[in-house]
């Protein structure tokens, strides 16, 4: 199995996220993409740093290995971006999911 180029995968996923439609806002809070596998988390963490994005080993409310997408101010924008990023990374073989933590 070829090694994943996480910077390329994340850059493509972030671009998809920028073009994603808004989702129905559910309240104000932080939106994350949680990375399930430790090897993928290491790769995404390094890629996030290269791309100037925030990756946290320990996220808000006790989550682990999370890419911070943004703050959703009840408008659904960050929610839509998080869904698109998680779907894009998932399609590339990165086990992940979108999560949100309200204020």
Domain that holds residue 52: 6-102
Indicate the pTM of the whole model.
Answer: 0.92
Give CA–CA dist 35/71, Å, rounded: 18
The answer as to whether 76 is a domain residue is: yes
How high is the pLDDT of residue 28?
A: 87
- Is the residue at 71 inside a domain? yes
Asked whether residue 87 carries a pLDDT value surpassing 90, the answer given is yes
Across the range 1-30, mean pLDDT stands at 88
The answer as to whether 23 is a domain residue is: yes
User: Does residue 30 carry a pLDDT above 60?
Assistant: yes
- Number of domains making up the chain: 1
Q: Within a domain: residue 10?
A: yes
Is the pLDDT score of 1 beyond 60?
no
Query: Is position 1 within any domain?
Result: no
């Amino acid at each position: 199995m070829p090694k994943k180029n996480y910077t390329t995968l994340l850059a493509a996923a972030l671009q998809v996220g920028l073009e994603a439609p808004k989702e129905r806002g559910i309240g104000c809070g932080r939106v994350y993409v949680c990375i399930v596998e430790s090897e993928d988390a290491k790769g995404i963490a390094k890629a996030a740093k290269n791309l100037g994005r925030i990756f946290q080993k320990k996220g808000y409310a006790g989550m682990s290995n999370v890419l911070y997408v943004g703050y959703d101010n009840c408008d659904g924008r960050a929610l839509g971006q998080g869904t698109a990023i998680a779907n894009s990374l998932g399609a590339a073989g990165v086990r992940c999911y979108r999560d949100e933590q309200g204020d």
